[in-house]
Chains A and B, each alone.
Chain A
Amino acid sequence: MQNETADFEVTLRPTTGWLQIELAGIWHYRDLLSLLVWRDFVAKYKQTILGPLWFILQPLLMSVVFTIIFGKVANIPTDGLPPLLFYLCGQLGWNYFSQNFSASSATLVNNAGLFSKVYFPRLVVPLSNVISNLLTFFIQGATFAAFYIFYKYAVHQGSFGVTWHIVFLPLLVLQSALLSLGLGLLMSALTAKYRDLIHLTPLLIQLWMYATPVIIPLSQFPKEWRWVVALNPMTSIVESFRLMLLGTGTVEPLYLVFSILFTLVSLVAGLLLFGKVEKTFVDTV
């Protein structure tokens, strides 16, 4: 008995510094992670009429609205692509990020009740969001694929097609996940201290989308000003999605490298700040 329990010896000390992430702890709670992923998905749609169909409808309706307002009324070019397909692709890249970001940034505040009653590695919650949103991403990807096939083989509109770059798609998705996780954790740690930031998050996401080439492609900006748009790490990600899936996108190595570095820095910063705040945040709830 003694030998057995000695394996679990833990010493709790007040930590003032920046803490290491408990990977072992997260591994121990992997079943919780998978159950949370499943709960996110099931609970969200249990009492809805259309269920997971909302995942398809939401970006589709948005794309139709964009097509009418920005395509037809404002006449913003779409790199020669069918507007609906162009917007669907942009949203595919953007939505995964924005859903993760908004879920992760609410982690501490939304789960305050739970966190003040039971211990488990807090990171499990935002991680489960990132994974459950992946499922949404796949459903939206399938929607996109359906329209892609429709436009390419039934309508024969424009010349577009998947390029070989698509082999990097998983890496791109991973980057979106890490970026949204990092920024979401930062935001979450801040909202734990400043409650009013919670009202800022949806607004920030909305504005951020317009600052990202979801609607206006990067190619529409004058060359000498593109770097300004590319200061937004999501610019490269959304443009890369288009390059991979539709063959047109403005992806520059420099912007790409910047975006990746930005992702890594925000991930590290997010993990550190979150790790520091989670230790005692229940005291201030």
Chain B
Amino acid sequence: MSRPAIEVRNVSKVYQLGTIGATSLKEELGRFWDRARGRAQAVKTGEFVALRDVSFDVQPGQVIGIIGRNGAGKSTLLKILSRITQQTRGEITIRGRVGSLLEVGTGFHPDLTGRENVFLNGAILGMSKAEIRAKFDEIVAFAEIEKFIDTPVKRYSSGMYVRLAFAVAAHLEPEILILDEVLAVGDQQFQRKCLGKMQEISTGDGRTILFVSHSMAAIRRLCQKCVVLRNGEATGPLDIEPAIELYTENLTESVYDLDVSQSKRSWGAEARVCRMTRLRVVSSNFLAFGKPFEIEVHLECYRPITKGLLGMAFNTVEGTRILTLDSDVNDRTFDLQPGKYVLRARMENMPLHPGFYNFCISVGGGGHFFDMLDAALWEVKTSDEDRWSDRGAGGCRIEPELCITPESGTAPAVYDSRSA
């Protein structure tokens, strides 16, 4: 057994609350003055433990996913591993050159041309000029910006910018690669290309990769094992499915049945008209691609609502609205009297591509009664029948009714129309 590429031993990171954010000299002098006059008491500041005794090993050539909710400590762990900051306690041994990619386009200078930025960015990521020169054509071709390589990057579209940035990073060749959410760049087509490239990197030459992502599809596709972080504590490396289960279990612990009566996320011009008390998925205890689903909303009305409508929407984690379900698309509205109601909205077919979505909900009509953005973070899972969800299709995926007519002289097509 070869020695691990990365050994993490009892690593903790403690942030001093109160010193987060720079202090000003004035405050410090004021504190000093108070102390000097014996008036004060060191202000007891709190601590925030971002990582607590984290230990795990990564074997050479392994592709390890790191998953956890926002604030679970993923970024902190990556920052420590990539030497951007230092742990408070514990020890890490790394065997191999590390390249880390916590953001694409780090250090790009807007006034410099694409060509110049490739060299600058490459050097910032740790490549030598000779290495960059050797890969230059490959990088430019991958980014698909041959024509604009001598244009200052400030004139690039944001798509071109991230493509170039990812291309540089993808051609980095350290033994250990640390990646954070870089898949969230570019359009769908380019994301697929990125994913393909990363798969190539990870399977190609036995490189060790640590990969942080919120996309379970990407994790399933790329990683062999997963470390799950929860409130600064790490479990793993586990196999992918148990890891994702652990993550979603603790992510969705009653997430599909929420008591939202106290939620602070709701707002509305006339908030006193009604409020939502409970929000749940009733069809099953999760959402799955291509499957029917039903969302249940418990509403408490204080005043009559006339010409009301229920609006629901799914946003991507990046904030793009991707699916809207409005009850009044065909001008059908409802009138409600003061009291309690249960509204159930049903769809026969969940068209959303598997992934995580923020669910937003509102009740409107004669006014804006109630609006709750990001009411829940829900995962749309892959269904068993769906073998193609890692095709990289974006947004919604709906099966059209296909009609194939043979032209003269051609045999009729065989089409499995399940309508029968």
Interface residues of A (CB under 8 A from B): 1-2, 5-6, 8-15, 28-29, 31-32, 34-36, 39, 42-43, 46-47, 114-120, 192-197, 279-280, 282-285
Is A29 a contact of B123 with CB atoms below 8 Å? yes
Given A8-B97, A279-B86, list of 17 further CB < 8 A pairs? Answer: A5-B97, A8-B94, A10-B93, A14-B90, A28-B126, A32-B123, A35-B129, A36-B123, A39-B116, A117-B103, A120-B126, A193-B22, A194-B24, A196-B25, A282-B79, A282-B85, A284-B22
Nearest first, the 5 A-B pairs at minimum CB distance are A32-B123, A5-B96, A194-B25, A119-B83, A12-B92
Give every chain B residue within 8 A of A5 (Cβ-Cβ): 5, 60, 95-97, 175
User: Contacts A9-B95, A42-B116, A280-B85 given: A1-B60 contact, CB under 8 Å?
Assistant: yes
Most buried by B among A28, A47, A195, A284: A284
Give every chain A residue within 8 A of B107 (Cβ-Cβ): 114, 118
Asked if B295 is at the interface of the complex by the 8 Å CB criterion, the answer is no
Is A195 a contact of B24 with CB atoms below 8 Å? yes
Among A13, A46, A118, A285, point to the contact of B100 (Cβ < 8 A).
Answer: A118
Is B111 a contact of A280 with CB atoms below 8 Å? no
Asked if B20 is at the interface of the complex by the 8 Å CB criterion, the answer is yes
User: Contacts A31-B129, A118-B107, A280-B85 given: A12-B80 contact, CB under 8 Å?
Assistant: yes
Looking at the assembled complex, report how far the CB atom of B181 sits from the nearest CB atom of chain A, in whole angstroms.
12
Asked if B383 is at the interface of the complex by the 8 Å CB criterion, the answer is no
Is A12 a contact of B19 with CB atoms below 8 Å? no
Distance A285 CA – B79 CA, assembled complex (angstroms):
14
Of residues 105 through 132 on chain B, the ones whose CB sits less than 8 Å from some CB of chain A are 106-107, 109, 111-112, 116, 119-120, 123-129
- Nearest A residue to B5 via CB reads A5
Among B60, B86, B128, point to the contact of A2 (Cβ < 8 A).
Answer: B60
User: Contacts A114-B106, A117-B103, A195-B22 given: A11-B93 contact, CB under 8 Å?
Assistant: yes
Most buried by B among A6, A13, A115: A13
Distance A15 CA – B91 CA, assembled complex (angstroms):
11
Among B25, B95, B111, B120, point to the contact of A6 (Cβ < 8 A).
Answer: B95
Give every chain A residue within 8 A of B412 (Cβ-Cβ): none
The main secondary structure of chain B at its interface with chain A is loop
Among B22, B89, B103, B124, point to the contact of A194 (Cβ < 8 A).
Answer: B22
Give every chain A residue within 8 A of B20 (Cβ-Cβ): 283-284
The number of inter-chain residue pairs (CB within 8 angstroms) is: 129
> Can you name 23 A-B residue pairings with CB atoms under 8 Å?
A2-B3, A8-B96, A10-B98, A11-B93, A12-B93, A13-B92, A14-B87, A31-B123, A31-B127, A35-B120, A36-B123, A39-B109, A117-B102, A118-B103, A118-B107, A119-B83, A120-B124, A194-B22, A194-B24, A197-B25, A279-B86, A282-B85, A283-B85
Most buried by A among B28, B88, B123, B128: B123
Is B93 a contact of A29 with CB atoms below 8 Å? no
Interface size on B, residues (CB 8 A): 54
Distance A6 CA – B4 CA, assembled complex (angstroms):
11
User: Contacts A8-B95, A120-B126 given: A14-B88 contact, CB under 8 Å?
Assistant: yes
User: Contacts A12-B92, A118-B106, A279-B85 given: A29-B126 contact, CB under 8 Å?
Assistant: yes
- Nearest B residue to A190 via CB reads B25
Asked if B406 is at the interface of the complex by the 8 Å CB criterion, the answer is no
Give every chain B residue within 8 A of A195 (Cβ-Cβ): 22, 24
Looking at the assembled complex, report how far the CB atom of A157 sits from the nearest CB atom of chain B, in whole angstroms.
43
Is A11 a contact of B88 with CB atoms below 8 Å? no
Is A46 a contact of B22 with CB atoms below 8 Å? no
Give every chain A residue within 8 A of B120 (Cβ-Cβ): 35-36, 39
Looking at the assembled complex, report how far the CB atom of A110 sits from the nearest CB atom of chain B, in whole angstroms.
12
Distance A123 CA – B13 CA, assembled complex (angstroms):
25
Give every chain B residue within 8 A of A1 (Cβ-Cβ): 60, 206
Give every chain B residue within 8 A of A2 (Cβ-Cβ): 2-3, 60
Interface residues of B (CB under 8 A from A): 2-3, 5, 15, 19-26, 28, 60, 79-80, 82-98, 100, 102-103, 106-107, 109, 111-112, 116, 119-120, 123-129, 152, 175, 206
Is A194 a contact of B28 with CB atoms below 8 Å? yes
Give every chain B residue within 8 A of A11 (Cβ-Cβ): 91-94
Is A12 a contact of B126 with CB atoms below 8 Å? no
Distance A35 CA – B125 CA, assembled complex (angstroms):
12
Give every chain A residue within 8 A of B102 (Cβ-Cβ): 117-118
Is A12 a contact of B87 with CB atoms below 8 Å? yes
Most buried by B among A28, A36, A117: A117
Most buried by A among B2, B86, B119, B120: B86
Give every chain B residue within 8 A of A29 (Cβ-Cβ): 123, 126
Is B21 a contact of A284 with CB atoms below 8 Å? yes
Give every chain A residue within 8 A of B90 (Cβ-Cβ): 14
Looking at the assembled complex, report how far the CB atom of B12 sits from the nearest CB atom of chain A, in whole angstroms.
9
- Nearest B residue to A115 via CB reads B84
User: Contacts A14-B86, A194-B22 given: A43-B111 contact, CB under 8 Å?
Assistant: yes
Is B100 a contact of A12 with CB atoms below 8 Å? no
Is A119 a contact of B82 with CB atoms below 8 Å? yes
Distance A9 CA – B152 CA, assembled complex (angstroms):
39
- Nearest A residue to B127 via CB reads A31
Distance A46 CA – B113 CA, assembled complex (angstroms):
11
Give every chain A residue within 8 A of B87 (Cβ-Cβ): 12, 14
- Nearest A residue to B80 via CB reads A12
Is B111 a contact of A46 with CB atoms below 8 Å? yes
Is A283 a contact of B15 with CB atoms below 8 Å? yes
Looking at the assembled complex, report how far the CB atom of A196 sits from the nearest CB atom of chain B, in whole angstroms.
5
Give every chain B residue within 8 A of A39 (Cβ-Cβ): 109, 112, 116, 120
Looking at the assembled complex, report how far the CB atom of B310 sits from the nearest CB atom of chain A, in whole angstroms.
42
Give every chain B residue within 8 A of A10 (Cβ-Cβ): 93-94, 98
Distance A197 CA – B25 CA, assembled complex (angstroms):
8
Is B86 a contact of A280 with CB atoms below 8 Å? yes
Give every chain A residue within 8 A of B25 (Cβ-Cβ): 194, 196-197
- Nearest A residue to B94 via CB reads A10
Give every chain A residue within 8 A of B86 (Cβ-Cβ): 12, 14-15, 279-280
Distance A22 CA – B22 CA, assembled complex (angstroms):
27
Most buried by A among B85, B89, B112, B129: B85
Distance A6 CA – B380 CA, assembled complex (angstroms):
43
Is B94 a contact of A194 with CB atoms below 8 Å? no
Is B22 a contact of A12 with CB atoms below 8 Å? no
Give every chain B residue within 8 A of A15 (Cβ-Cβ): 86
